[in-house]
Chains A and B, each alone.
Chain A
Amino acid sequence: MELICPAGTPAAFREAVDAGADAVYCGFRDETNARNFPGLNFSRDELKTAIAYARQRKVMTFVAINTFMRAGQEKLWHDAVDDAVRLGADALILADFGLMAYTAERHPEQRLHVSVQASASNADAVKFLVETFGAKRVVLPRILTIPDIARLARQISCEIEVFVFGGLCVMAEGRCSLSSYATGKSPNMHGVCSPASHVRYREDGSELVSELGDYTINRFPAGEAAGYPTLCKGRFDIAEERGYAFEDPVSLDVMDHIDALRDAGVGALKIEGRQRGKAYVAEVVSIMRRAVAANADERPALLSRLRRLSEGQKTTSGAYEKRWR
């Protein structure tokens, strides 16, 4: 199975390649990708250099242009597609149907992958994207169980890629409006979930308080691991209880299920984390590379090292191992 690894900077890109990635995914330094954070991402020249570096080492480069175009400003997204094709991207990761249409018409030879942000989670949706835009691969939303994925794989003709490690969104990928509700900006339209410009951390006695816009997201007592300041990971008073209304501040880790995913028809394993530093990328990719090649009984020892790098320093198998229905 392919290992698809994140890179937010050229330095992280090189780390991912050197650590054993089969493909590295990255984005331009603007609103066209869903990790549009300050100081992150690639200029055109940086992407050109990165693609050359990867190609010399037989590693592929996927360019994420996976936000949704705004009416009247389509040129920003069209230019991103044109430039990524011109620079030699091995695949474009797209979410917007309009942008998929543009790409299929202008660059019919370009390999097109369906972003997780497109939220294509059933056979009809995937078939439509394959037949209409020539999509070669779908990145499945993190809402399906492994048996769901196996059933879907039997009904579609394109490759399947799934997230196996890293940040975990609520189960409405590409349609989540929580960040937009609190800040006016969203990952879908602006490439930023809980933009840093609206985030504040402050100490209140022994507690660490995280705030997003006008909302208190969480209060972490001394000694408790902290999480990202997103509404979906917020701890709120609901009725007479205080708890996580949407999801706990934990990260996804389904590396224990690699064999089951392979049997289900998954061809590529994706690591989340373009916003993370190069040290994270190097360590996670290196461990995952060894885990993919290892026997099932050798994996737990390898993977136990990853938990301390995770949000909340805890991990979950999420919907892949759904127990709540």
Chain B
Amino acid sequence: MTLPFAMTAPFRIAPLSVIEHATRLVFAQVVQQHPDLFDRLGEHADKRYAFVPTDLPVGFLVEPSARRISVHRKPHLPVAQACMGGKLVLLLALLEGQIDGDAVFFSRSLTITGDMEAMLALRNALDDCNIDLPADIARMSGPFAPLVRRAAAEIRTRALSREAATWN
């Protein structure tokens, strides 16, 4: 299962600067809503984390201590201490703690390379934060917030139910 084409198409056709700007807006919103997000990282907050969706032409680099995210076209991904790869829908589900990272890893739907300790710390920090992307994105949508939240939540539900079926 992948996310609807309408959601992934911008990553394929839009200029990188536009993708990065939009990504940074969402990231800032998540950090604002969850100020304790990176507290559990401890010494690992200074490391660089790469998230590489296998179904998109771009990858994301997160630097927790700087509260910064950047977007890079494949294969020109910068060096990171820890890297996680998988379908975008899985990476987003892990971000929200909607699925169990170990179970997905056992199923080989997810790859983790580099500093395992750092990635484990980040996984646990994210898992504790109750991030709700539809709600966070909706907060940026002004009067359309209820509509955006409903639509995003519906997409998430459908994507995850189909994805879960593939690792059964």
Q: Which residues of A are in contact with B by a Cβ distance under 8 Å? A: 8-12, 37-40, 195-197, 199-203, 208, 220, 222-227, 275-280, 283, 308-313
Q: Which residue of A lies closest to B110 (CB)?
A: A226
Binary interface profile of B, 69-81, with partner A (CB < 8 Å = 1, else 0)? 0000000000000
Chain B residues whose C-beta falls within 8 Å of the C-beta of A279 in the assembled complex: 97-100
The answer to whether B123 touches A277 (Cβ under 8 A) is yes
Chain B residues whose C-beta falls within 8 Å of the C-beta of A203 in the assembled complex: 111, 113
B112 within 8 A of A: yes
- Range for the number of chain B residues in contact with chain A: 20 to 34
Chain A residues whose C-beta falls within 8 Å of the C-beta of B127 in the assembled complex: 9, 11-12, 277-278
Compute how far the CA of A277 lies from the CA of B112 in the bound complex, rounded to whole angstroms.
16
Given contacts A11-B97, A196-B116, A202-B113, contact A312 B106 (CB under 8 A): yes
> Which of these, A40, A195, A283, A311, contacts B124 with CB under 8 Å?
A40
The answer to whether B121 touches A38 (Cβ under 8 A) is yes
Given contacts A9-B127, A9-B128, contact A38 B106 (CB under 8 A): no
Compute how far the CA of A226 lies from the CA of B105 in the bound complex, rounded to whole angstroms.
7
Chain B nearest CB from A224 CB (Å) reads 8
Q: Which residue of B lies closest to A249 (CB)?
A: B106
Given contacts A196-B117, A197-B117, contact A309 B128 (CB under 8 A): no
Q: Which residues of B are in contact with A by a Cβ distance under 8 Å? A: 40-42, 44, 97-103, 105-108, 111-113, 116-125, 127-130, 167-168
Compute how far the CA of A68 lies from the CA of B125 in the bound complex, rounded to whole angstroms.
27
The answer to whether B108 touches A8 (Cβ under 8 A) is no
> Which of these, A12, A220, A310, contacts B108 with CB under 8 Å?
A220
B contact face: mostly helix, strand, loop, or mixed:
helix
Given contacts A9-B127, A227-B106, contact A309 B116 (CB under 8 A): no
A contact face: mostly helix, strand, loop, or mixed:
mixed
Q: Which residue of A lies closest to B101 (CB)?
A: A277
Chain A nearest CB from B78 CB (Å) reads 19
Given contacts A201-B116, A208-B108, contact A308 B103 (CB under 8 A): yes
The answer to whether B106 touches A311 (Cβ under 8 A) is yes
Compute how far the CA of A197 lies from the CA of B105 in the bound complex, rounded to whole angstroms.
18
Chain A residues whose C-beta falls within 8 Å of the C-beta of B100 in the assembled complex: 276-277, 279-280, 283, 309
Chain B residues whose C-beta falls within 8 Å of the C-beta of A310 in the assembled complex: 103, 106
**Can you give 27 A-B contacts (C-beta < 8 A)?**
A9-B40, A11-B128, A12-B128, A38-B117, A38-B120, A38-B124, A39-B120, A39-B124, A39-B125, A39-B128, A40-B124, A195-B117, A196-B117, A196-B119, A199-B116, A202-B113, A203-B113, A225-B106, A275-B102, A277-B100, A279-B98, A279-B100, A280-B102, A283-B100, A308-B167, A310-B106, A311-B106
Given contacts A279-B97, A279-B98, A312-B106, contact A201 B112 (CB under 8 A): yes
The answer to whether A38 touches B108 (Cβ under 8 A) is no
Given contacts A38-B121, A196-B116, A203-B111, contact A276 B102 (CB under 8 A): yes
Compute how far the CA of A308 lies from the CA of B99 in the bound complex, rounded to whole angstroms.
12
